[in-house]
Amino acid sequence: MFFTSGLFWFIEGILACVVIVGLKVWAEDRSVSMPWWKIGLIVLWWAWAGFTAAFIGTSIGEGEPHAALMGGIVFTVPAIVAAVLLWRFLGPGKSGKRPEPRS
């Protein structure tokens, strides 16, 4: 059961670090400022999205397809709306103008 093992969570931790570094580079390249509260909002959204994925998976795994479907609707729709709002609100999607990337 790899996905419930300690090794899985170790790899998840590494992936989280990679995501954070990638996000930092991406923000720098687009001159998007990243104060702590923006990072907080992104982490919250990330946690919500992770919860949604894990909830749907768990419901399928325990033989509750209806719960997976309802979870997919109830949790995914706000996650998508929040993602769009975050994109618009946090910088890059605000003006629609992309600054030149740093080399």
Query: What is the binding site for other proteins (CB under 8 A)?
Result: 1-4, 8, 11-12, 15-16, 18-23, 25-26, 29, 46, 49-50, 53-64, 66-67, 70-71, 74, 101-103
CB nearer to other proteins: pick between 1 and 35:
1
User: Which SS3 state, helix, strand or coil, does residue 17 take?
Assistant: helix
Total residue count of the chain as it appears in this document: 103
- Shortest distance (Å) from residue 96 CB to other proteins: 20
CB nearer to other proteins: pick between 61 and 78:
61
- Shortest distance (Å) from residue 80 CB to other proteins: 13
- Shortest distance (Å) from residue 19 CB to other proteins: 4
Sign of CA dihedral 71, 77, 83, 89: negative
- What is the 8-class DSSP label of residue 63? T
Cite the DSSP H helix spans in 30-64: 36-61
Measured distance between the N- and C-terminal CA atoms of the chain, rounded to whole angstroms: 43
CB nearer to other proteins: pick between 31 and 58:
58
